[in-house]
């Protein structure tokens, strides 16, 4: 992927409200897409991934993302957020047959009690 864009650097959301974190990518070939979460002073944890098949992918903690090829997007959504979801979220893309994982600049999700 040539680039990954996360337009929102910070997103404040009230607890139990829905949230969408936006991600767009640019690539001349097919891609794999990922969302990672990073808690303070920790490494990255894989949240969910799109490799092939169904364009809607889900994580075990209620997040989901939908691959939209025509809009080159992979937005992350959750219908009801919790305090524990406060973290930095990174979208990433990898071209088929390429070893390089390209990250966006991240979105800081802050949950307001």
Partner 1 sequence: ETGVTQSPTHLIKTRGQQVTLRCSSQSGHNTVSWYQQALGQGPQFIFQYYREEENGRGNFPPRFSGLQFPNYSSELNVNALELDDSALYLCASGPDKFNTEAFFGQGTRLTVV
What is the three-class DSSP state of 42?
A: coil
Q: How far apart (Å, rounded) are the C-alpha atoms in residues 81 and 64?
A: 12
Shortest Å, Cβ 20 to partner 1 = 19
68-4-10 Cα angle (round to 5): 95
Contact residues for partner 1, defined by CB under 8 A: 4, 32, 36, 42-46, 49, 51, 90, 92, 94, 97-106
If the CB atoms of residues 38 and 72 are measured against partner 1, the closer one turns out to be 38
Residue with smaller CB distance to partner 1, 73 or 98: 98
As measured in angstroms, the least distance from the Cβ of 36 to partner 1 is 8
Q: How far is the CB of 78 from partner 1 (least distance, A)?
A: 21
**For the chain, first and last CA: distance in Å?**
37
Nearer to partner 1 among residue 97 and residue 113 (C-beta)? 97
Q: How many CB atoms lie within 10 A of CB 26?
A: 13
Local structure of 75: helix, strand or coil: strand
Beta strands at 107-112 and 10-14: parallel, antiparallel or unpaired:
parallel
Q: Which is nearer to partner 1, 78 or 94 (CB)?
A: 94
Smallest distance from the beta carbon of 26 to partner 1, in angstroms?
A: 15
């Amino acid at each position: 992927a040539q680039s990954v864009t996360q337009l929102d650097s910070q997103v404040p959301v009230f607890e139990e409200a829905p949230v969408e974190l936006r991600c767009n990518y640019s690539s001349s070939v097919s891609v794999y897409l990922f969302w990672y979460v990073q808690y303070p002073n920790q490494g990255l944890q894989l949240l969910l991934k799109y490799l092939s098949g169904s364009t809607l992918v889900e994580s075990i903690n209620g997040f989901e993302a939908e691959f939209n090829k025509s809009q080159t997007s992979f937005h992350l959504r959750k219908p009801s957020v919790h305090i524990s979801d406060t973290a930095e979220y990174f979208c990433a893309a990898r071209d088929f047959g390429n070893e390089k994982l390209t990250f966006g600049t991240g979105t800081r999700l802050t949950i307001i009690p």
